[in-house]
């Protein structure tokens, strides 16, 4: 299990981008089951991990379920590997077999990709893949885009045209909430710096896939690659994610890339079009290791390995007082005193065109459903029925 923080689905060709050449990530997608609409249910990292290890939505009442303890019952230890100190509290609250925290240095541009923060995580994973260990779950979390942007500058330069300005050379991810319109060269520099990190992931993924391909199929692991939320790069007046800055929830943050490579690349090129949520990941892992799912009156997650099951009818991301509701046909950002921005799905993937004023019959339904769904999850109750109007796309 590999989680890269701040990695946006919009910077992967398998999710529609055309300007980044990422052959290893393309190969991973071709050998994997790809989840088209995967949503993180919170953008607060500590809360997200607690929800993963509890196998529940972040708002759900705690019932003592422990993913690590459940896997241990079937002889599968869960090991956490990370360079993110924010996960210490969450890791200490569950029965992990081990937790290794890699120290972080002052951010600086690396001379070689092997010297980057991400490379340390990938190196440990490659070493583990080559070991003769039995069944175990290695959960690797990389600060990724939320950490140092330390890929060698040549990665950024490769994304610049001959007449472009030189790409920026900063290693600390920028974070601001500009009130003015950003200049094109500023946006270009942001994309080049961020894109360089994506190219770094591609280089490291090539080595990881090579290590997996070297194994006989019966020894190859299930490899799940995803993100704990995207990174704003100027869209909606937001740059970066910083705890000291307000963060408005939009789809470029809530939609995470999610690929699942089965041994031998079985079921590769399968695309799951239904909605899924971050709490589906622990259910998927329990299913893979043939461990029992939590015994709850209201199921919190569903295994993504059950391809014939329909997707969710909605997902809900929560950050403070903000809610982001997603149905197959709509995305709704609910904030403040019942304020709502509304976006037609799936066409408006990144929430560019707010149609709330054009759809006065839909907006109040979306607000009500988001709030009622939030309350139902917090109470451990069944969610309300989905109004038919929220299943019909924008015409």
The CATH number linked to 162 is 3.40.720.10
Is the predicted pLDDT of residue 17 greater than 90, yes or no? no
Count of structural domains within the chain: 2
Residue 220 has pLDDT above 80, yes or no: yes
* Whether residues 193 and 79 fall in one domain: yes
According to the model, what pLDDT value does residue 16 have?
85
- Looking at the structure, tell me whether residues 246 and 275 fall in a common domain: yes
pLDDT at 274: 95
SS3 category, 114: helix
Do 327 and 235 lie in one domain? The reply is: no
pLDDT digits (tens, 9 = 90+) for 100-116: 999 988 999 999 999 99
Domain range enclosing 385: 321-391
Mark whether 328 and 234 lie in a shared domain: no
Provide the 3-class DSSP secondary structure of residue 97. coil
| 394 φ/ψ sector (left φ>0, alpha ψ -120 to 50, else beta) | beta
For a pLDDT cut of 90, what percent of the chain falls above it?
A: 91
| Residue 283, token pair as written in the block | 């259910």
- Quick check: 261 pLDDT over 80? yes
Share of the chain above pLDDT 70, in %: 100
The contacts of residue 200 (CB under 8 Å, 6+ apart) are 113, 116, 118, 151, 155
325 and 308 belong to one structural domain: no
End position of a domain, from candidates 288, 312, 336: 312
Task: Give the pLDDT confidence score for residue 347 in this predicted structure.
Answer: 94
Residue 37 reports pLDDT greater than 90: yes
Q: Which pTM value belongs to this model?
A: 0.96
Round to whole Å and give the CA distance between 76 and 74.
6
DSSP strand E in the chain: where?
Answer: 2-4, 33-39, 78-82, 98-101, 137-142, 223-226, 255-256, 258-261, 270-277, 315-319, 322-326, 330-335, 339-344
Does residue 395 register a pLDDT over 80? no
CB atoms inside a 10 Å sphere around CB 98: 12
Rounded alpha-carbon distances, angstroms, from residue 283 to 28, 36, 68, 371, 379: 22, 18, 12, 25, 21
Task: State mean pLDDT over 75-82.
Answer: 97
Residues 304 and 346 in one domain: no
Residues 353 and 281 in one domain: no
Regarding whether 331 and 305 lie in a shared domain, the answer is no
> Which pLDDT score, from 0 to 100, does residue 337 have?
85
- Answer yes or no: do 369 and 287 share one domain: no
Paired residues of 233 in beta bridges: 239
Q: How confident is the model at residue 131 (pLDDT cuts 50, 70, 90)?
A: confident
User: Which pLDDT score is estimated for 270?
Assistant: 95
Whether residue 280 sits in one domain with residue 169: yes
Mean pLDDT of the chain: 95
- How high is the pLDDT of residue 299? 82
Same domain, 227 and 346: no
DSSP 42-57: BS-HHHHHHHHHHTS-
**Res 71 pLDDT > 80:** yes
Residue 338 has pLDDT above 90, yes or no: no
Chain position carrying tokens 């309350």? 375
**Quick one: pLDDT band at residue 130, thresholds 50, 70, 90?**
confident
User: Pick from 283, 312, 341: which residue ends a domain?
Assistant: 312
CA atoms within 13 A on the CB side of 248: 19
pLDDT for 371-391, tens place per residue? Answer: 999 999 999 999 999 999 999
> E strands along 179-277, which residues?
223-226, 255-256, 258-261, 270-277
Q: What is the pLDDT of residue 340?
A: 96
Residues 183-198 have pLDDT tens digits of: 999 999 999 999 999 9
In contact, 58 and 48? CB cutoff 8 Å = yes
Helix (H) or strand (E) holding 203: helix 184-213
Residues 204, 67, single domain; the answer is yes
Domain boundary among 255, 286, 312: 312
Q: What is the largest CA-CA distance in the chain?
A: 61
């Amino acid at each position: 299990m590999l989680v890269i923080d701040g990695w946006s689905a919009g910077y992967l060709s398998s999710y529609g981008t055309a300007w980044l050449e990422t052959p290893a990530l393309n190969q991973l997608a071709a050998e994997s089951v790809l989840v088209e609409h995967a949503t993180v249910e919170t953008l607060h990292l500590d809360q997200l991990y607690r929800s993963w290890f509890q196998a529940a939505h972040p708002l759900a009442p705690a019932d003592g379920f422990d993913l690590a303890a459940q896997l241990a019952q079937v002889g599968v230890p869960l090991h956490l590997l990370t360079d993110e100190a924010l996960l210490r509290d969450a890791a200490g609250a569950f029965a992990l077999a081990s937790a290794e925290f890699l120290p972080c240095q002052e951010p600086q541009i690396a001379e070689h990709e092997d010297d980057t923060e991400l490379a340390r995580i990938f190196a440990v994973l490659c070493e583990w893949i080559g070991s003769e260990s039995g069944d175990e779950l290695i959960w690797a979390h990389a600060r990724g885009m939320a950490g140092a942007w330390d890929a060698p500058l040549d990665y950024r330069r490769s994304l610049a045209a001959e007449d472009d300005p030189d790409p920026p050379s900063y290693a600390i991810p920028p974070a601001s909430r500009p009130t003015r319109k950003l200049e094109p060269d500023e946006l270009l520099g942001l994309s080049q710096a961020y894109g360089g990190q994506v190219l770094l992931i591609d280089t490291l993924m090539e080595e990881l896939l090579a290590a997996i391909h070297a194994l006989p199929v019966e020894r190859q692991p299930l490899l799940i690659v995803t993100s704990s939320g995207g990174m704003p790069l100027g869209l909606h007046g937001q740059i970066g994610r910083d705890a000291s800055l307000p963060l408005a929830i939009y789809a470029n943050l809530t939609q995470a890339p999610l690929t699942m490579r089965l041994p031998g690349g079985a079921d590769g090129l399968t695309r799951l079009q239904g909605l899924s949520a971050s709490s589906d990941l622990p259910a998927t892992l329990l299913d893979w290791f043939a461990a029992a799912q939590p015994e709850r009156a209201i199921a919190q997650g569903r295994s993504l390995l059950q391809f014939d099951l329909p997707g969710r009818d909605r997902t809900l991301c929560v950050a403070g007082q903000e809610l982001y509701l997603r149905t197959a046909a709509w995305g709704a950002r609910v904030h403040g005193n019942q304020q709502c921005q509304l976006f037609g799905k799936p066409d408006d993937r990144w929430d560019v065109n707010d149609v709330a004023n054009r759809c006065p019959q839909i907006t109040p339904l979306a607000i009500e459903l988001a709030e009622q769904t939030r309350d139902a999850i917090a109470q451990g109750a069944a969610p309300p029925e989905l109004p038919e109007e929220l299943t019909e796309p924008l015409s």
